[in-house]
């Protein structure tokens, strides 16, 4: 819902000052004030930080004084209340306040309109202000902005005596400010104009909502003012954080915030509403996932990273249509592995902070392929191709301990003893014959290298020759699974993960073989509650049902059996069930094992794998809704 206040509401000052807003991030920081921008509580401020060393939020930036100087006229945009007087010039200029997608103030100064927005950037401890200017203005028109700092707990008032330093240090497009050693140093960015240092204390600010006015008079420090010409850029940015930033970075943050805050409109078709809703869920989950997997920020992870899980999840989110900003973050996480200088150690499972399995190298290549197909056709393609070549060389030189590449370019499994320290209480069993899935991924890795090479006009003939050899070996080895007389489910140890044979971008099986395999896998593993998996519990095999790979089963149906509409009913019921679960607030924490028998003694675990898979299914089902609206869903149990 869009909350909007206009001029009639601003006429009643007391009523307007009773209407407050708050903007938060995921780190405990916030910004808060009234719809007139006048602080009425000690807790109000434009950047209030969470600090581990103090018990209450810490108010860094209290408020701003803003004025537009246009020819010989001054238009004030701010409102302030002192012990002896109240200044409400800003209320006379303000024509609108709205909370969509974040707090936004609109002012009219003659023929000039200024729209000011404020938002906090997720996971960045960063406040951003944007000023968008339209309308007629003189050549010397300029915006003056004076920041007021408090540097105190929300339960106290500012104490000027602790400010050992009252001067800022000016650097390019920023100033730095550290008032006393125990305080956090802040960096304030301006996208245009200059900052003029002129430190001054303003005394006796009043907060009308506080009951004991005698104790809450406050002095605030104004270290100077921004002078920003308004005859050039139509949008100006100010930003406060703990490090330097750039205009490019701020614009990227703003695009991401706007995308992730899209509100569902009351009007419009249900399909549009669902699309926006699922998109928001994808992005919300990806932020939660990033918060727990931060090794891509340029440092080693704080804890152990399960690399297979990380790549599996970002692969599903990429294919599900997560926002472009998030996709680039995922891409940087993969780049970090190669820039670390320890790629061989990581992919061999010898790095103490990463766990891997035999599919991780090829899954990295598959992720890069999907990333470039969806988001970036050319810009970073040469870097990605270098990464792909590096992985392929490690496999071809038999540098990785999971498998051996024979003379026919076919991967053969090397059995490893499990690490007793990493044995889980329970685990989903891998295929008894891992070479089926493993060589499908290996074949696709080579084909991807070949195709991406052609996009940058590089030679790909050697990759095509390798792919042909893999294809021949695969066909020969697994021919017994697909006899001409028909397939039988007892002739081979099938596993639910074999569905990838029907969903990877470069298939090996022909149409007839694909249909046979799909029928067997569906018969053995697909249920109306999820995919049935063999689970090892204390050496005993039981079956559990989970969302894992359900998106692949849906893709496989679309690829080889879409004429059979009864499968849509099954996927529809699954989507409806998981949609309900996610709607209850378990974004990022959907249990990995949704269904278990009473005999199972294992506890249900939160799982990024299952959540990303369920979200992917919801997104794909949303795209199919219109096509299959004539198909009746299953009745409720």
What pLDDT, in 10s, does the model give residues 310-341? 888 888 888 888 777 778 878 888 888 898 88
Look-up of token digits 């799982």: 607
62-71, 341-350, 374-383: range with lowest mean pLDDT: 374-383
- Fold type of domain 4-259: Beta-galactosidase; Chain A, domain 5 (2.70.98)
Whole-angstrom Cα distance, residue 97 to residue 90? 12
Q: What was the pLDDT predicted at 224?
A: 97
* DSSP category for residue 405: E
- Kindly list the domain boundaries of the chain, sorted by start residue: 4-259, 264-624
Nearest to 573 by CA among 509, 498, 628, 508: 628
Q: What is the pLDDT of residue 281?
A: 54
- Is-contact 404 398, C-beta < 8 A? yes
Name the band, by pLDDT with cuts 50, 70 and 90, for residue 200: very high
- The C-alpha atoms of residue 337 and residue 387 are separated, in whole angstroms, by 10
Rounded to whole angstroms, the Cα distance separating 328 from 384 reads 13
Of 286-290, 391-395, 580-584, the range with the lowest mean pLDDT is 286-290
Is-contact 516 532, C-beta < 8 A? no
Q: What is the dihedral sign for C-alpha 214, 219, 220, 222?
A: positive
Tell me what pLDDT residue 497 has.
92
**Which residue from 44, 51, 221, 34 is spatially nearest to 125, judged by alpha carbons?**
51
**264-624 topology per CATH:** Glycosyltransferase (1.50.10)
The pLDDT of residue 635 is above 60 = no
Q: Is the pLDDT of residue 478 over 70?
A: yes
pTM above 0.85, yes or no: no
- What are the CA-CA distances from residue 560 to residues 346, 531, 542 (Å)? 37, 18, 30
Q: What is the pLDDT of residues 488-537, one digit of tens each?
A: 555 688 999 999 999 999 999 999 899 999 999 999 999 888 888 887 66
382 versus 302: the higher-pLDDT residue is 382
598 exposed, middle or buried (CB, 10 Å; 0-12, 13-18, 19+)?
exposed
Look at residue 194 in the predicted model and tell me its pLDDT.
96
- Does position 6 have pLDDT exceeding 90, yes or no? no
Q: Which residues pair with 467 in a beta bridge?
A: none
């Amino acid at each position: 819902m869009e909350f909007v206040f206009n001029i009639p509401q601003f006429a009643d000052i007391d009523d307007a000052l009773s209407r407050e807003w708050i903007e938060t991030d995921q780190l405990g920081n916030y910004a808060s004030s009234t719809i007139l921008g006048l602080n009425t509580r000690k807790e109000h401020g434009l950047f209030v930080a969470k600090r581990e060393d103090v018990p209450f939020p810490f108010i860094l930036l209290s408020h701003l004084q803003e004025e537009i100087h246009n020819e010989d006229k001054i238009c004030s945009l701010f409102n302030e209340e002192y012990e002896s007087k109240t200044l409400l010039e800003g209320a006379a200029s303000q024509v609108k306040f709205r909370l969509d997608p974040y707090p936004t103030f609109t002012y009219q100064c003659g023929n000039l309109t200024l729209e000011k927005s404020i938002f906090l950037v997720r996971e960045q401890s960063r406040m951003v202000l944007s000023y968008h200017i339209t309308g007629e203005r003189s050549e010397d028109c300029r915006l003056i902005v004076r920041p007021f700092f408090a540097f105190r707990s929300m339960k106290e008032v500012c104490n000027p005596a602790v400010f050992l330093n009252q001067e800022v240090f000016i650097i390019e497009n920023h100033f730095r400010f550290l008032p006393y050693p125990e305080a956090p140093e802040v960096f304030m960015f301006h996208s245009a104009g200059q900052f003029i240092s002129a430190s001054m204390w303003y005394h006796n600010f009043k907060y009308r909502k506080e009951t004991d006015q005698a104790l809450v008079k406050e002095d605030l420090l104004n270290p100077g003012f921004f002078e920003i010409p308004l005859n050039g850029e139509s949008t100006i940015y100010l930003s406060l954080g703990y490090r330097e930033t750039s205009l490019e970075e701020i614009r990227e943050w703003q695009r991401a915030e706007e995308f992730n805050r899209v509100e569902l409109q009351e009007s419009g078709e249900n399909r549009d509403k669902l699309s926006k809703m699922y998109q928001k869920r994808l992005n919300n989950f990806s932020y939660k996932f990033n918060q727990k997997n931060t090794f891509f920020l340029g440092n080693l992870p704080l804890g152990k990273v399960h690399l297979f899980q990380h790549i599996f999840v970002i692969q599903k989110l990429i294919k599900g249509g997560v926002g472009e900003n998030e996709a680039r973050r995922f891409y940087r996480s993969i780049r970090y592995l190669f820039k670390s200088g320890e790629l061989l150690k990581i992919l061999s499972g010898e790095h103490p902070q990463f766990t891997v399995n035999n599919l991780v190298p090829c899954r990295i290549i598959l992720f890069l392929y999907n990333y470039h197909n969806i988001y970036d056709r050319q810009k970073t393609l040469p870097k990605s191709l270098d990464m792909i070549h590096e992985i392929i060389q490690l496999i071809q030189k038999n540098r990785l301990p999971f498998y051996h590449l024979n003379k026919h370019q076919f991967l053969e499994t090397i059995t490893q003893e499990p690490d007793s320290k990493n044995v889980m209480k329970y685990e989903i069993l891998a295929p008894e014959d891992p070479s089926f899935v493993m060589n499908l991924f290996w074949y696709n890795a080579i084909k991807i290298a070949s195709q991406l090479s052609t996009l940058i006009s590089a030679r790909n003939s050697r990759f095509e020759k390798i792919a042909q050899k893999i294809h021949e070996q695969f066909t020969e080895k697994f021919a017994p699974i697909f006899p001409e007389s028909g397939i039988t489910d007892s002739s081979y140890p099938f596993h639910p993960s074999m569905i990838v044979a029907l969903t990877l971008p470069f298939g090996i099986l022909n149409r007839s073989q694909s249909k046979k395999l799909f029928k067997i896998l569906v018969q053995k593993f697909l249920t109306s509650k999820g995919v049935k998996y063999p689970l090892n519990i204390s050496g005993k095999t039981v079956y559990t049902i989970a969302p894992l790979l359900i998106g692949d089963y849906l893709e496989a149906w679309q690829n080889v059996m879409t004429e059979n509409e009864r499968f849509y009913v099954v996927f529809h019921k699954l989507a409806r069930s998981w949609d309900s679960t996610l709607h209850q607030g378990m974004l990022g924490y959907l249990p990995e094992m949704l269904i278990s028998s009473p005999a199972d003694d294992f506890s249900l675990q939160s799982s990024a794998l299952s959540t990303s898979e369920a979200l992917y299914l919801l997104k794909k089902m949303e795209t199919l809704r219109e096509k299959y609206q004539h198909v009746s869903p299953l009745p409720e149990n």
